[in-house]
Amino acid sequence: MQEMNASLTEKNLFEQAKKAHKMAYAPYSKFAVGAAIEGKSGKIYLGCNVENLSYPVGTCAEAGAIAAMICGGDTIINKILIFATGQELIAPCGACLQRIKEFADDSTTILLANEQGIQKRCSLSELLPFGFVNSELKK
């Protein structure tokens, strides 16, 4: 992981994810998360967490942004920025790392941000060094 110098695209992803986080439906945890993806095409897709009274049914912000990306016609994540407020920087949960893996390539970048801005940039292999792959299932 390394500290970053935010490019224009990354500043835009930051602003969009911050807006998405305001839309979160998180009445149970009260913890709002926003995600913004830049697809290979350059288009941006947003997601926020959507909780449910049946707690495990709730979905993460990353899952929402990935669904929007697929619906919008992109299949490769160039960058994904995750935004939440608070002192502790949050990273995608294990399930979301596997979701990201499905649509990542070698240059996919994961950006972690809080109110102060983008704090970390990571590769997927740093966060998920040994995720699930099975070439047999891809046939």
Amino acid identity of residue 70, one-letter, is I
The answer to whether residue 67 forms part of the interface with ligand THU (CB under 6 A) is no
Adjacency order of strands within the sheet including 44-48: 44-48, 34-39, 77-83, 109-114, 117-123
List 10, 51, 62, 126, catalytic entry? 62
Q: Catalytic: 62?
A: yes
Among 29, 41, 52, 125, binds ligand THU (CB under 6 A): 29
The answer to whether residue 74 forms part of the interface with ligand THU (CB under 6 A) is no
The tokens of 45 are what? 């897709």
Measured distance CA(104)–CA(118) in Å, rounded: 20
**Count of residues touching ligand THU (by CB under 6 A):** 15
**Is the CB of 95 or the CB of 134 nearer to ligand THU?**
95
- Give the gyration radius of the chain's Cα atoms: 14
Scanning residues 78 to 137, which ones bind ligand THU (CB under 6 A)? 82, 90, 92-93, 96
Q: Give the chain's end-to-end CA distance (angstroms, integer).
A: 34
Query: Which range, of 57-65, 68-76, 99-107, 125-133, touches ligand THU by CB under 6 A?
Result: 57-65
Q: Which residue has the tokens 């986080």?
A: 21
- Chain residues binding ligand THU by CB under 6 A are 26, 29, 31, 33, 49, 51, 58, 60-62, 82, 90, 92-93, 96
